[in-house]
Structure 1
Amino acid sequence: MPDFLLSQVLASITLIIECYAMQHKNKNTILALLSVSCFFNGIHYFLLAQPTAAFIFWFSSIRFLISIKWKFQWISALSIGVSLLIACYTYIGFLSVIGFMATVFITIGSFTKNDKLLRIMMMVGGSLWLLHNIILWTPVGILVEAIFVGSTAVGFYRYYIKDNESNVTEPKIKS
């Protein structure tokens, strides 16, 4: 099987896992599922000769697991530092910069204790990965990030907008 086709199959696995992940309310479940998806996505990028994205995603797989147990901001800062080293060491151009910027947002989100902020940071980071994949032209990768951002937005709506709308009571009209 050609590397490009295999990369698209692995991106499809990533897609399924990420869509499922962002519909959960439990932050630790989201992070565990994102860890698994990052592993497959890293292979996808490796097959497309994108070392920065591949190594960032493999490191992100570990980072998500760490962030389940520990929410220390120093670990978040250390993770961003490691991602910067990866981006500098594997730098291949503008795509390396976009991948690093996306990772900064996602790292901040994964180490927050606030589920709402997690989802916002995932939407911003996912949007940057979407831009990355459009420039790279990986069709399933584009679909992964478009659906990831959309799925995250749906989850955000379900848990933070819809719930607030249902808590608003109608004013009583006196007769």
Structure 2
Amino acid sequence: MFSIEQAKQMAKQLRASLEERNQAVSHSTALELVAQQLGYKDWNTASAMLAQVNTPPVPSITFDKPVPILRSFDEAKAREFYLDFLGFSVEFEHRFEANLPLYLGISRDGLQLHLSEHHGDASPGATVFVPMQNIELLRDELQGKRYGYGRPDIVQQGWGKELQVHDPFGNRIRFCQY
């Protein structure tokens, strides 16, 4: 795609080339010829369209997926529930120093969660609503693990099928298939 400045430069070169052949044309005629070469009806149309093409996009606000932070109190129980039972993988672990609270990033199939032992990061008892597909497969997988603290099942709600799990810290994750 050509810029308006490139089109003007083309008109200037065309005019100089024609003058070398003793075929003088005005600047406006050269602009009209370049516009037609570029596929536009006339120079006014070309300059309007070329200006639009080369106008920088207006910045807009965009958001990525949120990452919920859930409070946890015990690293071993958090790993048992989120990694072993729910099947998440560790993305990162952070501690300011040894023996200080853990901040853990986990993910599974596009779902990211952060678990924090820091008292100021989150309140226990939070609920995370997770839209998903193939909820029956998740139910079958979880029930097959025979987890000692829960065997969640699907409940039909007015908005879809819901499978709710409760972590050892009072947080809930509501998986929902619309």
TM bin, normalised by shorter chain, reads under 0.3
The structure, 1 or 2, with the larger RCO (C-alpha pairs under 8 Å, 6+ apart) is 1
**Normalised by the size of structure 2, how large is the TM-score?**
0.27
Q: Which has the larger helix fraction?
A: 1
